[in-house]
A and B are shown apart, each in its own frame.
Chain A
Amino acid sequence: DIQMTQSPSSLSASVGDRVTITCRASQNIRDYVNWYQQKPGKAPNLLIFGASTLHTGVASRFSGGGSGTEFTLNISNLQPDDFATYYCQQSHSMLPSTFGQGTRLEIK
């Protein structure tokens, strides 16, 4: 299975800050990475697919990048609604697909 390692596991930031979350794959997965946002007690929501393409309706302060084995999720001008847990997912192989362990973004 392809392993996805996210860092950091938690992060504190203030409204207006810019943050970066990193996801590393255990093998080359080209750009087959998705990012999700999950708030407490809610299902995850798709933010980005194909490493850098924003899903419909996602704010432009979210951006994704990377290819191969290293990927980033960037959030600029943090808003109160952005404080949540973020997961990466590799879709290079759906047999099985795998998620990162998550990054909890908290208000400083």
Chain B
Amino acid sequence: QLRLQESGPGLVKPSETLSLTCTVSGGSFNSSFYYWGWIRQPPGKGLEYIGIIYYGGTTYYNPSVRSRFTISIDTSKNQVSLKVTSVTGRDAATYYCASRSLTTRRDAFDIWGQGTVVTVSS
């Protein structure tokens, strides 16, 4: 069963860099997925698409976050990562890693991690 697991620091200070990791398990990293994505959800609010990355490393970002967000992939560790620079209070959210698996015929996130909560505070 394909599984995604996010991990991160939980608490980050304003102006610092946030690094999150998504570990993929339960299937072949290079042949079970089309792409992986990051989506965030501020407390009590809706879902915001951050961007996606393909196995070969090609990335696409939401233009609204592009300048501070970087998605990367480490195929040796079966991991996808998200880095956010110059963090502010508006970056406080639950961050989800999600993917489109090869069983889905359309662009859709059919597999989600459980999410990791990020609090921004000094």
Contacts and interface: CB of A to CB of B under 8 A. Distances in A.
A1 B64 CA distance: 10
Nearest to B114: A43
B112 A43 contact: yes
B106 A91 contact: yes
A44 B106 contact: no
A101 B46 contact: yes
A94 B63 CA distance: 11
B55 interface: no
B96 A32 contact: no
Interface residues of A, number: 26
Interface stretch (A15-23, A49-57, A70-78): A49-57
A97 B46 contact: no
B44 to A, nearest CB: 10
Q: Chain B contact residues (Cβ within 8 angstroms of A): what range?
A: 20 to 34
Contacts of B107: 32, 34, 91, 94, 97
Given A87-B47, A96-B62, A43 B115 contact: yes
Interface in B81-105: 96, 98, 103-105
Given A43-B96, A87-B46, A96 B104 contact: no
Contacts of A46: 104, 108-110
A86 B92 CA distance: 22
Interface of B: 39, 46-49, 51-52, 60-64, 96, 98, 103-110, 112-115
21 contacts: A34-B108, A36-B47, A44-B47, A44-B96, A44-B109, A46-B104, A49-B104, A49-B110, A50-B105, A50-B106, A53-B105, A53-B106, A55-B104, A55-B108, A56-B103, A91-B107, A94-B52, A99-B46, A99-B48, A99-B49, A100-B46
Interface of A: 1, 32, 34, 36, 42-46, 49-50, 53, 55-56, 87, 89, 91, 94-102
